[in-house]
A and B are shown apart, each in its own frame.
Chain A
């Protein structure tokens, strides 16, 4: 019986490529990975947004209206609904001049209780150091 921690680190811009969407869908797939594992084994995902990747966390995305596809905001909220740990790099948020109220910090509107956290990059480094595998997107 073991739990292995995977860090999904998103550094890509939203919508420019598929990378951040794939990060979110792969991280959310951790919720069904047990079907392939031995009893008692599991994956603990951590989702961290750094660099340009913090722009994925902006609120009020209109992807469905503009492109006819689900927004990354919806995926981030789904992650919070599923109680994934979501970290947003404080230094990069400040670099872009983004205030906390412009970011997706919770999924209360869909019944989520877990909140995203804006943390120093040193905290994200600690999460990466303590992870079994790093997956950069």
Chain B
């Protein structure tokens, strides 16, 4: 069993990078791996709770809750990036952590593989 760290920087609405990264996380967990998931920049919108699921837009809250329930998935949002966008701690979806960017680097340090998906 290995550890995969995935960092994503693009937004949930307006890009399918987060959809891909969450699907990849699910596949890795099904194979028995652990996944650390980091969102920074516009990707922090993934951590915002209360998003309505329209058919025209990506909505990943249900899938994320399934991943959290496995116990092999942890997701962390960049605190400064979130605050800059008006996403407060109380707006954060259950299961998420918020840390500064050094958390991501520490996760990369102990990862077997890092997949870094840039933004925009």
- Bound together, the chains give a CA A135 to CA B74 distance in angstroms of 20
* Chain B interface residue bracket vs A: 20 to 34
CB neighbours of B111 from chain A (8 A): 133
Nearest B residue to A36 via CB reads: B106
Which residues of A are in contact with B by a Cβ distance under 8 Å?
Answer: 4, 6, 12, 17-19, 22, 25-26, 29-33, 35-37, 41, 43, 133-137
List B25-50 residues whose CB lies under 8 Å from chain A: 40-42
The 9 closest A-B pairs by CB, nearest first: A36-B106, A29-B101, A17-B120, A29-B102, A33-B102, A33-B105, A133-B114, A32-B102, A135-B116
> Distance (Å) between the CB of A52 and the closest chain B CB?
13
CB neighbours of A25 from chain B (8 A): 101
- Bound together, the chains give a CA A27 to CA B27 distance in angstroms of 29
Which residues of B are in contact with A by a Cβ distance under 8 Å?
Answer: 7, 9, 40-42, 100-106, 108-109, 111, 114, 116, 118-120
- Bound together, the chains give a CA A31 to CA B40 distance in angstroms of 18
Q: In the bound complex, do residue B118 and residue A19 qualify as a contact, i.e. CB atoms below 8 Å apart?
A: yes
